[in-house]
Chain A
Amino acid sequence: MKGFKTSIHLFIATSSAAGCLAGWALLAHSPKPAQTVEQTVQRPAQIMQVTAIPSLAPLPPLPPMPAFGTATNNAQPLTFEPQPLPQPQPLPLPTFRSRLRTGGS
């Protein structure tokens, strides 16, 4: 068991050191950022000439936004959308025990 642990520790140490060396070598041979900037600056001047941009037609005006409710309107879910409710059978009002009714005036 002790031998197994030792070999695991050895494997981890060796692979860490190898990974570190490989990364260092890779970065050392990659192009440096300063080299890229220099290349851009050294381009011939005629490439930098700006071509004329065609003038754009003005955009049509946006349609007016409806001014309903408060500023949080758009955040509201569509829970108010009309949905069919249970369909009723009309009954004569005198059969209803309450005298309260609503129907506009």
Chain B
Amino acid sequence: MEFYEFRAMKSAVVLAAEGAPEQVAAGFQAARSCIAVEETRFSRFSAQSELVRLNASQGEWFSASTDLFEVVQLALDYFGQTGGLFDPAILPDLKRAGYDRSMDELRLAGAVPAGPRIERPGFETLQLDRQHHCIWMPPGMEIDLGGIAKGWIAEQAARRMAGYTPVCTVSAGGDLFSIGLPQETGAWEVALEDPRDPEQYLAILEVGAGAVATSSVIKRSWQQGGKSQHHLIDPRSGEPAQSEWLSVTVIAPQAAAAEVFAKALLIAGPRQVSQILAGHPGLAYIAIDRRGSLWGSPESQEYLHANR
């Protein structure tokens, strides 16, 4: 197994692949190029990004690239499937909580105090013209595709790499998409970080082809007026979610699904798990609470292995 690591999307990216060295190298290059292109498209902190231009087009039809249109369409579908708990239109609330610049700048300069909450249009009012790949957002709507886009990019990069090597994976800040199975172990081994101390791990996940994604209230957190804030906004309150869990990891066939449901479960907490996952039998989840205890559905034990 060959590994290649670099930083992109404000995260550590790890590529791994098996095969002939020249094929693996070509696959790594293809995946890295794909990530670079898509990162530029979906960043909300780059003036050149297509997402920033979309957010500036409120009230007008916006002609979108195939990739942006696909992710917005996915986001709209998942908004419905999660009862609105996954909601890209929380961006005004996220900015109000202080996340109005990159995390590096935010930690350096601190967050501005929160202003009053402004009424915003619901994400369901966004319109899609599927024939012409055009998107219409009402005035006042701004969207953040950060999480779903990161998972989607990991999957796209892995599929590019698979054109060179049939056994490969892309991990973008802990959002993984894998194709094929490693010969040596027969499964992809992924360390499940302890959210209380990310330099420690609590268990090993052994997963097959598909996606793994984790949402955490710990990693992207900051102080605002003496109050601890994080980036997972509960759309029902417009505030950072008061979660009973510190992190939720979801194993799913698609990267976007894993990312979306990890976020929705973390926001909703243990009492709404069955409601959210009903109709999605292909998903498994593992949650970690504040004591470091693991919780999950019976199926999730299939993936969980003791430390080694």
Contact = CB atoms under 8 A, between A and B. Distances in A.
A101 B299 contact: no
A73 B174 CA distance: 30
A81 B193 CA distance: 22
Contacts of B150: 105
B80 A67 contact: yes
Main secondary structure of the interface of A (DSSP, over half): loop
A91 interface: yes
A104 B218 contact: yes
Contact of B294 (A73, A74, A84, A101): A84
A68 B298 contact: no
A79 B299 contact: yes
Contacts of B43: none
B204 A96 contact: yes
Given A73-B275, A86-B306, A105-B150, A100 B176 contact: yes
A105 B220 contact: yes
B307 A91 contact: yes
A84 B287 CA distance: 10
A66 to B, nearest CB: 5
B194 A90 contact: yes
B296 A85 contact: yes
Given A90-B194, A93-B199, A80 B277 contact: yes
Nearest to A101: B191
Interface of A: 66-70, 72-74, 76, 78-93, 96-105
List of 5 A-B pairs having minimum Cβ-Cβ separation, nearest first = A103-B193, A104-B216, A105-B173, A90-B200, A76-B278
